């Protein structure tokens, strides 16, 4: 049957009807809020390219965690801005490192938050690469032991989920073995499995001070042109023991999210990254876009594509908007 018997507009007539037939409902339940922890106390420095996002010392970070919890956001992911950087990124696995202290603070305060930690070396190395560098090359295998050590130190501090984002081959397996041997067989791994070499990470590198001092990350992060390779990366990470997998960035990679969702039976996570956030904020500030409307549309699209969990800097804003609207709609 076709028009005039069939009229799709009938179900779009009122908001009540539209609400009933809506296929995707954005909710805070799958949100993860990214946070940046730095040394000191009373420090709260706004990231200039990410309005509303701060580098914070542990005390201020904890305060914001209380707010995140009160807003009904279930999880945070932590990034560290260390005191000192060196060739090997040794502060990454220091028991007194910023991330380790931040995790302990959340645990001590008994907040009801899932604490995810990003495991990578780029924030901690003097050269800004995600692995050991020798003769201008990022070495794969020697880096694995350092990542495993970092993951184990996050586990000891009380992390709930370990999320390696370095893109070295074999790192999920190396981290899994180290966690198992260290008595953390129950700790899940969220692998940044399909992580593309993206210009959308620009503002994050200001936030985490992790810009590479030479070259770029093309020898380890994925080429944006490749989709089949993403499926292979996901399959490999799952074979090595990943419990959840991530596609990153989100907005320009919705096709990848969908393909991964259709092929694998594990939770699919998407990272709505810093550059995606910065674009919306900048346009909204100029009055060029309606921020609320566009943010909801973007998050709906990411979930519609198949991601049930979304890392997003918009998490607090969306939670507030949804709370203001009793019907869970903005």
Which residue in the list 195, 213, 292, 316 is annotated as catalytic? 195
Following DSSP, what letter does each residue of 85-102 receive, concatenated? Answer: -BTT-GGGG-TTSHHHHH
Q: How many residues bind ligand PBG (CB under 6 A)?
A: 11
- For residue 66, the Cα-to-chain-centroid distance in whole angstroms is 19
* Cβ 50 to ligand PBG shortest distance, Å: 8
* Cβ 69 to ligand PBG shortest distance, Å: 22
Pairing of strands 137-139, 161-164: unpaired
Q: What are phi and psi of 276, to 5 degrees?
A: -70, -40
With CB under 6 A as the contact rule, the residue among 201, 281, 299, 312 that binds ligand PBG is 201
Which residue in the list 85, 248, 281, 316 is annotated as catalytic? 248
Residues comprising the chain, all counted: 330
**Residue 33 in contact with residue 312, Cβ under 8 Å?**
yes
Segment 126-155, which members bind ligand PBG (CB under 6 A)? 130
- Among 19-27, 179-187, 197-205, 315-323, the segment contacting ligand PBG (CB under 6 A): 197-205
Q: Is 281 a catalytic residue?
A: no
CA–CA–CA angle 156, 90, 243 (5° rounding): 45
Residue 195, classed as helix, strand or coil, is strand
Closer by beta carbon to ligand PBG, 212 or else 329:
212
Residue whose structure tokens are 């899940």: 188
Structure tokens given for 174: 């190396």
Q: Is 292 a catalytic residue?
A: no
Closer by beta carbon to ligand PBG, 94 or else 210:
210
Residue 249, classed as helix, strand or coil, is coil
* Cβ 329 to ligand PBG shortest distance, Å: 27
* Cβ 164 to ligand PBG shortest distance, Å: 9
* Cβ 210 to ligand PBG shortest distance, Å: 6
Segment 71-130, which members bind ligand PBG (CB under 6 A)? 118, 120, 122, 130
* Cβ 192 to ligand PBG shortest distance, Å: 7
- Among 91-99, 200-208, 228-236, 314-322, the segment contacting ligand PBG (CB under 6 A): 200-208
Q: 210 - beta bridge partners?
A: none
Closer by beta carbon to ligand PBG, 60 or else 278:
278
With CB under 6 A as the contact rule, the residue among 33, 61, 204, 253 that binds ligand PBG is 204
Residue 122 to residue 132: CA distance in whole angstroms = 10
Residue 191 to residue 271: CA distance in whole angstroms = 12
* Cβ 130 to ligand PBG shortest distance, Å: 5
- Among 106-114, 198-206, 230-238, 319-327, the segment contacting ligand PBG (CB under 6 A): 198-206
Residue whose structure tokens are 């003769």: 135
Residue 115 to residue 103: CA distance in whole angstroms = 7
Pairing of strands 31-37, 75-80: parallel
Segment 157-186, which members bind ligand PBG (CB under 6 A)? 165
Q: 118 - beta bridge partners?
A: 163
The residue of the chain with the least Cβ separation from ligand PBG equals: 204
Residue 45, classed as helix, strand or coil, is strand
Segment 220-279, which members bind ligand PBG (CB under 6 A)? 273-274
Structure tokens given for 21: 């037939």
Residues that are catalytic = 195, 248
Interface residue list for ligand PBG (CB under 6 A): 118, 120, 122, 130, 165, 201, 204-205, 210, 273-274
């Amino acid at each position: 049957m076709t028009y005039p018997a069939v009229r799709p507009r009938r179900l779009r007539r009122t908001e009540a009807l539209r609400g009933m037939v809506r296929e995707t409902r954005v909710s805070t339940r799958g949100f993860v809020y990214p946070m940046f922890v730095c040394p000191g106390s009373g420090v709260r420095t706004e990231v200039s390219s990410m309005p509303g996002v701060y580098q914070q010392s542990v005390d201020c970070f904890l305060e914001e965690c209380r707010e995140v919890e009160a807003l009904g956001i279930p999880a945070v992911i932590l990034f560290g801005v260390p005191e000192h950087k060196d060739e090997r990124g040794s502060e990454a696995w220091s028991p007194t490192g910023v991330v380790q202290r931040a995790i302990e603070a959340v645990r001590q305060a008994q907040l009801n938050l899932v604490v995810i930690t990003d495991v990578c070396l780029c924030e901690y190395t003097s050269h800004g690469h995600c692995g050991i560098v020798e003769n201008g090359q990022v070495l794969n295998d020697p880096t694995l032991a350092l990542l495993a050590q970092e993951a184990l130190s996050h586990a000891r501090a009380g992390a709930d989920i370990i999320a390696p984002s370095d893109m070295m081959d074999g790192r999920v397996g190396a981290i899994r073995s180290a966690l198992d041997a260290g008595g953390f067989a129950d700790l899940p791994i969220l692998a940044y499995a399909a992580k593309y070499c993206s210009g959308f990470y620009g503002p994050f590198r200001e936030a985490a001070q992790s810009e590479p001092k030479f070259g770029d990350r093309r020898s380890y992060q994925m080429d944006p042109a490749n989709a089949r390779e993403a499926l292979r990366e996901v399959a490999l990470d799952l074979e090595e023991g990943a419990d959840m997998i991530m596609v990153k960035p989100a907005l320009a990679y919705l096709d990848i999210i969908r393909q991964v969702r259709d092929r694998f039976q594990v939770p699919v996570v998407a990272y709505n990254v810093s550059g995606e956030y910065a674009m919306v904020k900048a346009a909204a500030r100029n009055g060029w876009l309606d921020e609320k409307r566009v943010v909801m549309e973007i998050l709906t699209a990411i979930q519609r594509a198949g991601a049930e969990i979304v890392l997003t800097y918009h998490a607090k804003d969306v939670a507030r908007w949804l709370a203001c609207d009793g019907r869970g709609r903005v």
